[in-house]
Copies of this chain bind each other. A is one copy, B any other.
Amino acid sequence: MKGLIWIVCLLSSLTYAIEPIAPIPQTLPYDPQKAALGQKLFYDPILSKDYSISCASCHKRAYGGTDGESVSVGIYQLQGNMNAPTVLNSTFNFKQFWNGRANNLREQALGPIHNPIEMGFSAAEAVSRLKKIPEYKESFQTITKRSLITSDDIADMIAEYEKTLITPNAKFDLFLKGKSTLSYEEQEGYNLFKTLGCATCHNGVNVGGNSFQKMGVIIPVKWDQKSSDRYALTKREIDKNVYKVPTLRNIALTAPYFHDGSAPTLKDAVKRMSYHNLGITLSDQESAYIISFLKTLTGKLPKTSLYR
Instruction: Please give the residue numbers on chain A whose beta carbons come within 8 Å of chain B beta carbons, in ascending order.
Output: 40, 43-46, 50-53, 57, 60-63, 68, 73, 75-77, 129, 133-136, 253, 301, 303-307
Chain B residues, Cβ within 8 Å of A46 = 304-307
C-alpha gap A297/B277 in the complex (Å): 51
12 new A-B contacts at CB < 8 Å, known A135-B307, A136-B307:
A43-B43, A44-B306, A45-B61, A46-B305, A46-B306, A46-B307, A50-B61, A51-B301, A51-B305, A62-B77, A129-B305, A133-B305
Number of this chain's copies in the complex: 2
CB-based nearest B residue for A69: B68
Chain B residues, Cβ within 8 Å of A135 = 307
With A60-B57, A307-B133 in contact, is A77–B68 under 8 Å at CB? yes
Most B-side CB within 10 Å, residue of A51, A63, A73, A75: A51
CB-based nearest B residue for A42: B306
CB distance from A161 to the nearest CB of B (A): 13
CB distance from A195 to the nearest CB of B (A): 32
CB distance from A125 to the nearest CB of B (A): 13
CB-based nearest B residue for A133: B307
Q: Are A62 and B75 touching (Cβ within 8 A)?
A: yes
CB-based nearest B residue for A136: B307
Q: Are B77 and A40 touching (Cβ within 8 A)?
A: no
In order of increasing CB-CB distance, the 4 nearest A-B pairs are A52-B62, A46-B305, A52-B61, A135-B307
C-alpha gap A43/B40 in the complex (Å): 10
The contact of A68 among B43, B73, B305, by CB within 8 Å, is B73
With A57-B60, A62-B76 in contact, is A45–B305 under 8 Å at CB? yes
With A77-B68, A253-B77 in contact, is A304–B51 under 8 Å at CB? yes
The contact of A77 among B52, B63, B303, by CB within 8 Å, is B63
